[in-house]
Structure formats: structure tokens, C-alpha cells
């Protein structure tokens, strides 16, 4: 769709204002509560030939207590690449063989340019050794990597072509060692901050379907949602989602129902359901929209990540087949209502198919201090129903910005959470910026029955030429095994949002343990498996 000349002139004026505010170090303004520019935009040319991978240093292996973080973005000899940058990692793990892991990220060949590509790495030994063959399309400006997998172990990579806001799906059938483009360039539609999921439940009518949503105001063509029924090769014409949710994720219940979690870039959050997206014979509709109280507001431009988000909304569904089956969980890092600085990792759950949600529960268990940041909060749900949550955390930093990766988990559907455990050494998120003033917008975790595989960005490597630490991608294994039994903190019983109080169906009695360890894991057991309103014409692309 194309805008009118008047609208184009308006956006030219807005872009000028934005460039001034960004140059002065201020947060870009918003119009009508929404971002006035996309989080991704085409800005700089690629690095000159012959200026990349010229200098190396030993790859970073960073022990911290019982945990070890392994650098992922390494060269052919397994060394750190001096002068590059990597952030916004997304991880996928083969459910049939936990030794096979792949991570995608935004690859900047040099920190001197914002030109970025779709980097990827793979491991065949459960994350200890990593190989970085290159990018999906060398020399092509790409961003917003999102990875997922199906129940047979195929990996999928959704990548955004930033100059058009169009995306496409790539598939790997060999554990992430090589990738083949499934849809043509831009064939998956997409838009800024796109996310997708694969239906992994064999009994679902939509088994193997892929579902995607994005920020509709900065879209490839129009709409906010699309579906593929053939493994990402072709995608339906986009449609709108009620309330135009942004900056979130989606998942599928064991009955094939699709749930989308998103927000309005402020304090409004929603869980939106489609019961018929699994039916290939119909155009999906959304029959349930639930307002969810997350206890605060999404933050853009915070002190720990001035050019990006403090986190997006993550939604995950339990498909364990047990007493918590089809519970819906949402996690996001929000600035609490009435607080001037900092964020907390907040969790809610629904035990009735998204009709109602619990009151928000604060997962980070340090004393309340609104100068502290608990950001990039995310979750994974194991096949046995355990919930893992990881985030970056400044609780131990005198400057309130130096960060560590933290971990907690729940074995009773989010009713109680294990005491938080620091997983990584401290690092500064304010160095290594590739002309972009951020360390990405998210980190990710995939859970199996014995633990979780985490991909995150950190700045452990020091570049003496630049006099700064560099942004790199790391893998670490977290696990709830070992240590004495803690006294977990409780999550509130679900309350009416917007209807009557719901009592949780059944609560397991298993007690979490206190200190996770990084013990090797066995191969994980495969998992058992209102009418949209018209949407305004999107603004011109920057």
C-alpha cells in the first residue's frame, strides 16, 4: 500500500524531528502512543571489502560458579573476531537430539557501521563448541532474527529485509549447519519486530503450520498477521489483528488454538486467541481478546539500552499433558506503575484458555529498588511443564547498569518460583555499540525436561584498539538440579480480566531447588505433542 503525498510529507517532517532528538541523545518522540519510527531501519552501507575478520583473539569461555558461557560468533578456527558486533540472539534446539543447537543473531561485520546481516552459528555438542559459517545472504541488509523448530528437528529462521520490512523463512535440515530459503525474498510478508511460531502438536489440525505477526504500522505491505500451511514456502495474504499488538510473541496450545501476546508500546497488554487459524480452509479470525495487567509499562530508551527496548512480551503455552496442560504464560520486563526508573520481570498465567489471567507476579526477588534494571525477561516451557525464566539484571551493580544474566524457574505452573540465581559474570551493556546505542531488544531460551538453553549478548571481550568491550553472542546452559530446597515465593491466583475469578485447576506439590547447575543433559524427550478492524495505511519506509 502507498501513502498520499501529504502523509509522506508529514513523515518526512517527523523523521527530521527524530534525527534531531536522536542526535541529542533523547528518546525519539511518539505520536498517539506509538513509535513514530521503526526499531529497524536501513541506515548505512556494508563494510568495505577486506576490512572484516582481519584480527582475532582467543574465543571467550566465561565460567561463573557452576555455569559456563561459551562465545558463539567465532571464526573458522574458533577464535573471537576482533572489531565485529553481534546481538539480538534467537535460539533453536533439536527436540530429538539436544546436542544440535543453532543460534541466529544480528551480525555487524564492524562496529563502525550499522549495516547488519543475518548471522548464524551451530553446535553439535550441546553448546560447548560453536561454528559460525557466515550469514544467510552475505552483503544483504537483514535484521530481527527469530528462530524456531518443528517436532522432527527441522530448524527455521525468520529474517527481515530491513529496506522493505519484508521477511522470508529459511530452513535447515542438518542442525543449522546450512540453510535454504523457503520463501522468496520478502515472500513471508512481515514487518518491523516480527515474530513467528511453529505448531508442534501432532494431533493439531494445523500441525506444522507457521504463524507470524509484526508491527503493522511498519509493514512490508499491510496487515499484522500471516500463516503458512506448507512449512514457510508460501504465506497467505496478511490480515489485521484486533488492537494492533506490537513487540510480542505467539504460541500454540495442544488443541491447536493460537495465542498472541503483545502490547501497545505502553501499559496495555493483550492475549489474543484464534481457534480457527489451524483450519487451512478458512481465513483465520480472532475470537477472544483479553486485556492483561502486567503491572507496568514497556520501556524504550532506558539507561541500560538507550537505543532499544528493555524487553518485549513473551507468551508461551504449556503442552505437557499434565495438570498444567494448556496453561498460558506471559512474561515481560516493565517499569512498575508509579516508578520513575528501572524495570521488573513480571509474570502472569491463565488456567482457563486465556479468558482470565492472574495478577502480575514479580519474578526477580531482590529488594524493590526502582533504580535497578531487570530487563530482556523471557521464558521457556519444558515438555514436563517446568517454566524457565532468564533476564539481564543490575541488582549487584553500584552504577545500576553493569549487568548479569539471572535465572529462576517454576515447577508448579508459575504458582511459586525458585530463588533467583546469577548465571554470568558482570558486564557493561553500554560498550561495543555498532553505531546503534543498544545491545539488541531481546534474548531467548528453549527448555527441555532437565534444563534450558540460553542465547544472550554480553561484552566480555575487550578490544584494546577501541578501548572498549565488544558485543558478542553467548550460549549458557541453566538447570534446576542440585542444592537445598528453597522457600519459593507465590504467584497470585488468577483474577478476572475482565470477568470472574478463576481458581487454578490443580497445583503440583514439587518443590524447586535453590541453586541451578550446569550439568550436561541427556537428549531431551520429544514433546507430546472479534472480526479484525480495518488498519490505517502504513507510513513510508525510512
Tens of pLDDT, residues 222-236: 999 999 999 999 999
Q: Which residues pair with 142 in a beta bridge?
A: 161
Q: CB atoms < 10 A from the CB of 483, how many? A: 16
> What integer pLDDT is reported at residue 495 of this predicted model?
43
pLDDT in tens, 344-375: 999 999 999 999 999 999 999 999 999 999 99
DSSP of 75-139: -TTSEEETT-EEEEEEEEE-TT-TT-EEEEEEEES-TT----EEEEEEESSTTSS-EEEEESSTT
Cβ–Cβ < 8 Å for 188, 226: yes
> What integer pLDDT is reported at residue 344 of this predicted model?
98
> What integer pLDDT is reported at residue 43 of this predicted model?
65
Residue with more model confidence, 336 or 517: 336
DSSP helix/strand/coil, 22: helix
pLDDT in tens, 111-122: 888 899 999 999
> What integer pLDDT is reported at residue 56 of this predicted model?
83
Is residue 532 pLDDT above 60, yes or no?
Answer: no
User: Span 151-165, mean pLDDT?
Assistant: 93
CA separation (Å) from 31 to 17, 217, 265, 393, 441? 12, 12, 12, 31, 21
> What integer pLDDT is reported at residue 338 of this predicted model?
83
Q: Are strands 462-463 and 416-417 parallel, antiparallel or unpaired?
A: unpaired
DSSP of 197-266: EE---TTSTTTT-EEEE--GGGBSSS-SEEEESSTTS--PPPB--TT--EEEEEEE-TTS-EEEEEE-SS
- How many angstroms separate the CA atoms of 145 and 327, rounded? 27
Which pLDDT band holds residue 16 (cuts at 50, 70, 90)?
A: very low
User: Span 72-100, mean pLDDT?
Assistant: 96
Q: Are strands 489-490 and 494-495 parallel, antiparallel or unpaired?
A: unpaired
> What integer pLDDT is reported at residue 33 of this predicted model?
53
> What integer pLDDT is reported at residue 22 of this predicted model?
35
User: Span 395-415, mean pLDDT?
Assistant: 98
> What integer pLDDT is reported at residue 511 of this predicted model?
36
Give the mean pLDDT of the chain: 84
Grid cell in block for residue 455: 542465547
**487459524: which residue's cell?**
277
Is residue 248 pLDDT above 60, yes or no?
Answer: yes
**539484571: which residue's cell?**
393
> What integer pLDDT is reported at residue 39 of this predicted model?
61
Q: Which residues pair with 357 in a beta bridge?
A: 495
Least confidently predicted of 97-106, 418-427, 502-511 = 502-511
Cβ–Cβ < 8 Å for 375, 357: no
CA separation (Å) from 273 to 109, 174, 200, 419? 40, 33, 17, 32
Is residue 29 pLDDT above 90, yes or no?
Answer: no
pLDDT in tens, 50-59: 566 668 899 9
Least confidently predicted of 70-74, 191-195, 409-413 = 191-195
User: Span 302-314, mean pLDDT?
Assistant: 96
- How many angstroms separate the CA atoms of 225 and 211, rounded? 8
User: Span 420-442, mean pLDDT?
Assistant: 95
pLDDT in tens, 482-531: 333 333 444 444 443 333 333 333 333 333 333 444 444 444 433 333 33
User: Span 125-139, mean pLDDT?
Assistant: 95
User: Span 129-145, mean pLDDT?
Assistant: 94
Q: Report which secondary-structure segment, H or E, holds 10.
A: helix 5-23
Cβ–Cβ < 8 Å for 135, 84: no
Which pLDDT band holds residue 49 (cuts at 50, 70, 90)?
A: low
> What integer pLDDT is reported at residue 51 of this predicted model?
61
Cβ–Cβ < 8 Å for 186, 162: no
Is residue 2 pLDDT above 80, yes or no?
Answer: no
> What integer pLDDT is reported at residue 42 of this predicted model?
61
Which pLDDT band holds residue 35 (cuts at 50, 70, 90)?
A: low
Amino acid at each position: 500500500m502507498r501513502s498520499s503525498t501529504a502523509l509522506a510529507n508529514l513523515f518526512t517532517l517527523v523523521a527530521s524531528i527524530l534525527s534531531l532528538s536522536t542526535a541529542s541523545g533523547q528518546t525519539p518522540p511518539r505520536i498517539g502512543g506509538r513509535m513514530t519510527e521503526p526499531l529497524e531501519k536501513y541506515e548505512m552501507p556494508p563494510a568495505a571489502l577486506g576490512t572484516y575478520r582481519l584480527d582475532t583473539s582467543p574465543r571467550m569461555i566465561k565460567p561463573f560458579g557452576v555455569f559456563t558461557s561459551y562465545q558463539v560468533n567465532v571464526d573458522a578456527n574458533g577464535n573471537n573476531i576482533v572489531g565485529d558486533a553481534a546481538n539480538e540472539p534467537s535460539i533453536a534446539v533439536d527436540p530429538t537430539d539436544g546436542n544440535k543447537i543453532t543460534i541466529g543473531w544480528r551480525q555487524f561485520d564492524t562496529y563502525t557501521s550499522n549495516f547488519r546481516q543475518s548471522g548464524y552459528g551451530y553446535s553439535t555438542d550441546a553448546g560447548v563448541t560453536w561454528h559460525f559459517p557466515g550469514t544467510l545472504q552475505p552483503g544483504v541488509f537483514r535484521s530481527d532474527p527469530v528462530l524456531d523448530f518443528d517436532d522432527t528437528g527441522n530448524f527455521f529462521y525468520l529474517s527481515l529485509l530491513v529496506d522493505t520490512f519484508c521477511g522470508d523463512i529459511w530452513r535447515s535440515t542438518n542442525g543449522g549447519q546450512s540453510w535454504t530459503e523457503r520463501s522468496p525474498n520478502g515472500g513471508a510478508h512481515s514487518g518491523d519486530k516480527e515474530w513467528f511460531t511453529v505448531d508442534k502438536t501432532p494431533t493439531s489440525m494445523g500441525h506444522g503450520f507457521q504463524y507470524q505477526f509484526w508491527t503493522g504500522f511498519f509493514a512490508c505491505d499491510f496487515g499484522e498477521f500471516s500463516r503458512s500451511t506448507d512449512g514457510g514456502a508460501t504465506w497467505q495474504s496478511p490480515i489485521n489483528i484486533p488492537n494492533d499488538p506490537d513487540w510480542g510473541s505467539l504460541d500454540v496450545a495442544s488443541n491447536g488454538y493460537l495465542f498472541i501476546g503483545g502490547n501497545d508500546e505502553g501499559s496495555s497488554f493483550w492475549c489474543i486467541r484464534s481457534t480457527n487459524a489451524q483450519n487451512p480452509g478458512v481465513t483465520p479470525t480472532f475470537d477472544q481478546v483479553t486485556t492483561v495487567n502486567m503491572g507496568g509499562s514497556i520501556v524504550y530508551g532506558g539507561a541500560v539500552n538507550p537505543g532499544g527496548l528493555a524487553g518485549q512480551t513473551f507468551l508461551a503455552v504449556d503442552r505437557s499433558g499434565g495438570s498444567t496442560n494448556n496453561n498460558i504464560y506471559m512474561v515481560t520486563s516493565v517499569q512498575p506503575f508509579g516508578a520513575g526508573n528501572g524495570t521488573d520481570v513480571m509474570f502472569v498465567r491463565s488456567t482457563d484458555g486465556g479468558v482470565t489471567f492472574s495478577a502480575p507476579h514479580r519474578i526477580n526477588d531482590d529488594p524493590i529498588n526502582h533504580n535497578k534494571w531487570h530487563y530482556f525477561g523471557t521464558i521457556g516451557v519444558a515438555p514436563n511443564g517446568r517454566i524457565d525464566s532468564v533476564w539481564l539484571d543490575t541488582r549487584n551493580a553500584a552504577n545500576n547498569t553493569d549487568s548479569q544474566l539471572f535465572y529462576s524457574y517454576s515447577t508448579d505452573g508459575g504458582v511459586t518460583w525458585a530463588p533467583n540465581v546469577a548465571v554470568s559474570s558482570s558486564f557493561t551493556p553500554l560498550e561495543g555499540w555498532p553505531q546503534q546505542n543498544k545491545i539488541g531488544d531481546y534474548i531467548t531460551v528453549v527448555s527441555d525436561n532437565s534444563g534450558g538453553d540460553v542465547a544472550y549478548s554480553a561484552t566480555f571481550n575487550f578490544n584494546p584498539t577501541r578501548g572498549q568491550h565488544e558485543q558478542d553472542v553467548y550460549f549458557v546452559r541453566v538447570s534446576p538440579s542440585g542444592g537445598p530446597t528453597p522457600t519459593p515465593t507465590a504467584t497470585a491466583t488468577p483474577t478476572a480480566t475482565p470477568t470472574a475469578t478463576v481458581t487454578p485447576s490443580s497445583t503440583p506439590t514439587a518443590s524447586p531447588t535453590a541453586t541451578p547447575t550446569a550439568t550436561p543433559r541427556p537428549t531431551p524427550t520429544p514433546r507430546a505433542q472479534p472480526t479484525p478492524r480495518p488498519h490505517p495505511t502504513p507510513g513510508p519506509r525510512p
